[in-house]
Amino acid sequence: MDIGIIGGGPMGLSLGYYALRKGHDITIYEKDEVLGGMSASFNFDGDIIEKYYHFFCKTDYALFELLKELDIHHLLRWHNTKMGFYYKKKLQDFGDPISLLRLDGTDLISKIRYALFSLYSIKKKSWNDLDEKYAIYWIKSFIGEKAYNIFWDKLMSLKFYEYQNEISAAWIWQRIKRVGLSRDNIFKESLGYVEGGVKVIIDTLEKTIKQMKGKIIHKGVKKILVDDSTLVLEDENKVKHDAIVSTIPINLLYHLIDKENIANKYKDFTYLDVMCVVIKLKKPLSKHFWININDDEIKIPGLIHYTTLRKDLKSNIVYIPFYLPKDGDIFKLSKEEIKSMCKSYTMKINPKIKDKDFLAFDINIYKNAQSVYKPRHLYHLPSIRVYKNLYALDTSYYYPEDRGFSESVKIAKYVVDRYL
């Protein structure tokens, strides 16, 4: 079968790879100059790094299998990372029972409730009873209003804004569980990366696909003519395939699909854009990898001190992600305004960082990066085989799992095995 794949992110590339392995012909259409989508890399002041920070967890089995097949599994590295919490105007240790007990500025009952909730979430096996619940309601019913305001409120309100009350409990549970299971023991978090970064995986996929005679064309798809199983590319060229698989955010299909009754199925899905600021510092920000923030003067829920994980990087890299609904206020700020805001946040978190310590700064924006997962999300999704020879899915199809490289690989393999 001759398959046209829309999107050259991890899902499109691994779908192409698995389809080739099954004996199909494939062509991948990618609108950007670089492959990878949310997992793409860029040259940041001489360092080739991810546009958006990436780490792997111990349960990312589909990724590990792919790495073995691509013969790059030996590049996988694991490190014990530490969490921090900027609370009560100081950066404190967080993420293990002793640090939690020592956390300044909160009462013992809140700490115990938070700890029990985290433990319960990690041990809990099924999400059936959570699928209908709202995350905020579920968390508050477990840990109470007070502990929620300390530990959870900023994470929800500064990520989902007006949608915060609509987020599914099953999705939040899965996020807690994924990271919670990536530990050597309760005191030691262990996260993974591939030496050389995610770019190594993307490049190897590209090379392997080309060696297997798959085609990768860097052109966006403008229209899908469903009855003819034909794609209209951005240069107006038309290409017919036996089957088409779309891996781009499904809300975009509303504008791409030419048949109204099919296109309408994708009308009502909400996605948030992400803006990720990347900073290079002269000296380390802290010993922590992930820093949660609860401070009224800092309008982000957390930041990522990447170099504490990526031991192969020589520079001190910090990522500051901002999730915002369409046309959020932050997008109205100039690059300079964003830069000085992020500088001030960084200097608040570590007052020893001075102006002269900021070596480089950049911003990446990814549209439709985060699906807003409402309860019973899967029931609202159109089926993967949406019409005759047209298949469509995106990161939200592996709900309640959050977006993740491994999950995109896993579902790509499933689609090839099941449908193609």
Ligand X SMILES: Cc1cc2nc3c(=O)[nH]c(=O)nc-3n(C[C@H](O)[C@H](O)[C@H](O)COP(=O)(O)OP(=O)(O)OC[C@H]3O[C@@H](n4cnc5c(N)ncnc54)[C@H](O)[C@@H]3O)c2cc1C
* Pair of tokens at residue 317: 């890299």
According to DSSP, residue 162 is labeled G
Selected binder of ligand X within 144, 196, 220, 328 (CB under 6 A): 220
Minimum CB distance to ligand X smaller for 192 or for 375: 192
By three-state DSSP, how is residue 419 classified? helix
Judged by CB under 6 A, the stretch of 31-39, 175-183, 283-291, 381-389 that binds ligand X is 31-39
Q: Does 309 interact with ligand X (rule: CB under 6 A)?
A: no
Residue span 44-83 as binding mask against ligand X, x where in contact by CB under 6 A, dash where not: --------xxxxx---------------------------
Q: Is 385 in the site for ligand X (CB under 6 A)?
A: no
- Decide: is 31 part of the binding site for ligand X (CB under 6 A): yes
State the DSSP H helix or E strand holding residue 299, giving kind and residue range, or none if neither.
none
Residues binding ligand X: number (CB under 6 A): 36
Does residue number 403 form part of the binding site for ligand X (CB under 6 A)? yes
Query: What's the burial of 416, exposed, middle or buried (CB within 10 Å: 0-12/13-18/19+)?
Result: buried
Q: How far is the CB of 221 from ligand X (least distance, A)?
A: 4
**Distance in Å, CB of 16 to ligand X, minimum:** 11
Using CB under 6 A as the binding rule, whether residue 111 contacts ligand X is answered as no
Q: Which of 154, 141, 164 is nearest to 87 (CA)?
A: 154
286 close to 305: Cβ distance less than 8 angstroms:
yes
Considering the complex, state which of residue 14 and residue 92 has its C-beta at the smaller distance from ligand X. 14
Q: Which two tokens stand for residue 71?
A: 């013969």
The H-or-E segment that residue 190 falls in is strand 188-194
Nearest distance, CB of residue 415 and ligand X, angstroms: 11
User: Considering only residues 3, 4, 5, 11, which one is a binding residue for ligand X as defined by CB under 6 A?
Assistant: 11
The residue written with tokens 């691994």 in the block is: 14
**CA gap 249, 13 in Å, rounded:** 15
Query: C-alpha angle with apex 155: 116 to 43, nearest 5 degrees?
Result: 125
Residues 6+ apart with CB under 8 A from 346: 279, 281, 285, 303, 318, 320, 353, 358
Candidates 3, 4, 5, 8; binder of ligand X (CB under 6 A) is 8
Find the shortest distance in angstroms from Cβ 65 to ligand X: 14
Q: Are 231 and 223 in contact (CB under 8 A)?
A: yes
Q: Does 353 bind ligand X (CB under 6 A)?
A: no
> What is the dihedral sign for C-alpha 379, 65, 205, 306?
positive
C-beta of 225: minimal distance to ligand X in Å? 14
Residue choice 172, 276, 309, 416 for contact with ligand X (CB under 6 A): 276
Chain residues 311-350 in contact with ligand X, contact rule CB under 6 A: 321
Query: Applying CB under 6 A, does 248 fall inside the site for ligand X?
Result: yes
Q: Count other C-beta atoms under 10 Å from residue 293's C-beta.
A: 22
202 binds ligand X, rule: CB under 6 A: no
Q: Is 247 in the site for ligand X (CB under 6 A)?
A: yes
In angstroms, give the least distance from the CB of 162 to ligand X: 20
Q: Does 221 bind ligand X (CB under 6 A)?
A: yes
Quote the least distance from Cβ 15 to ligand X, whole Å: 9
Phi, psi for 151 (deg, rounded to 5): -100, -25
Measured CA to CA, the distance from residue 219 to residue 176 in angstroms comes to: 37
Q: Given the rule CB under 6 A, which residues bind ligand X?
A: 6-12, 29-32, 37-39, 52-56, 220-221, 247-248, 252, 274, 276, 321, 366, 369, 394-395, 403-406, 408
